[in-house]
A and B are shown apart, each in its own frame.
Chain A
């Protein structure tokens, strides 16, 4: 059975201009990621892994080249349409969890569903149960352990049912035991639910769990 391409980068480059210098964080990368794939992006610090991830997730726009999400070219989309596409298609998991500190776990997921126009009280409970936090739904992030916070972050990424999960060092702030639990959860979601999973990581063991590993160096994919 042919699988659909959910993300495609065509000769994508991103140059930053901090001060008077130019930094080519990503240089002419082309790649395709199919539905249900589990891809790891590895490489040394500063090689452009996170930048590539954010380009694929349309959180930043490329300096040149183009990104296609679910068959929709993003280069000419207005901010509102691009945000809508990201909201519909992409779920982000960050190293620092990035939960809204004043809101409970339930409300953090609630914001994501409301932004998508979903009335999803049951879905919120279901995903918090899925990540094992059914008894901590009404706790704020500071009342949860770091592992639990990352679980809330994963549940938030999943609750709107996106086709792709982009995870930037999702275990970077966790101890090895908690990391293992989080990765088991993510790979389970990939295998059993068919979610496309792209993970940026330093960790070779975590990278090795993916079906495909992209090695980056100096803004380019080396293999």
Chain B
């Protein structure tokens, strides 16, 4: 049966190639877009998580996307929160956004001393930490993507700064500056966007107790445990599930329609051959299975080509846009492959059923 299916696919090489390509495009679309979505979200959350804090405290009702709100929390809260049992350190942070090479980036205004206390701090790779409010630091990825070097003069938020250091990528934002500098730029003296809290212990109970205590004492604040931040961030993106669902549906429908059309025309073209098979003793189920097998072979090849195209597309996107992150998990690779084949099998069912019910004599007379 396999040799028959393969020989049939070889008979119309261009059509088979188009089918494979169409399935591959569906797979590529799915893997690259989902990889891009999850890459951007998980990279954002990972950079927050790697700061090393246990709790993020924001004004109640804030977005989990940092940088969408400047400062409206008095920095003085830091001292009050620090008094709560189980709190080992508090670091106020101002966030805002800026545009670098037409791409929006979040800027952190950091109090270096307290920031170091709540976690690993900014890990310096080149240059030095800032010593005055006219200096900024950027991370390695931004430096690589933009060509920024230590000593370069840059303008952020319409104000000139000197890059004094480059820190390891993957922690916090891509641009960090002294907290007073950002407060001054935004005319929000003594204000912060959020606080990072370090607890005395990473024990879940301790962290939860501290978070509950903050929420109880200060109803205007919303503490979020960092361990739950990624999920909270994802839940904050409206219609993400619907977006991914749409991509999945598109991939499935592409496979379904292409295979349906290809196999339907194949059946018309091979009507006589199906009659021959019936005459020499092929059962209806044999005919059905042979048609579905053709589809599975086509789709499996499409899936493999799709994996290759996804890999190449991802490389190309990351080359063209080095600050983007695309994360393709094994789970999504399996789902994409499964969807490609499922779409093909569903698309093959009608042509296969039709072929299996062809009258052998009518089929043999078919020209």
> Which residues of chain A have a CB within 8 Å of any CB of chain B?
54, 59-60, 79-80, 83-84, 86-88, 92, 94, 96, 98-103, 107, 110-112, 114-116, 156, 160
Contact = CB atoms under 8 A, between A and B. Distances in A.
B200 interface: no
A60 B361 contact: yes
B80 interface: no
B237 interface: no
A88 B280 CA distance: 10
Nearest to A115: B281
A80 B283 contact: yes
Contact of B284 (A79, A110, A116, A160): A79
Contacts of A83: 278, 281-284
A94 B364 contact: yes
Contact of A103 (B3, B285, B286): B3
Contacts of B361: 54, 59-60
Contacts of A115: 277, 280-282, 286
Given A98-B275, A111-B4, A79 B281 contact: no
Contacts of B283: 79-80, 83-84
A156 B3 contact: no
Given A60-B361, A107-B3, A99 B281 contact: no
A96 B276 CA distance: 11
B8 interface: yes
Nearest to A95: B364
B281 A98 contact: no
A102 B10 contact: yes
B146 interface: no
B336 to A, nearest CB: 31
6 contacts: A54-B361, A83-B281, A86-B281, A87-B280, A107-B3, A112-B281
A173 to B, nearest CB: 14
B276 A102 contact: no
A4 B272 CA distance: 34
A166 to B, nearest CB: 10
A111 B280 contact: yes
B145 interface: no
Nearest to B357: A79
B217 interface: no
Given A87-B280, A100-B277, A156-B280, 13 more contacts: A59-B278, A59-B361, A83-B283, A84-B283, A88-B281, A92-B279, A96-B364, A98-B279, A98-B364, A99-B276, A100-B4, A103-B4, A107-B7
A100 B364 CA distance: 12
Given A60-B361, A112-B281, A115-B280, A100 B286 contact: no
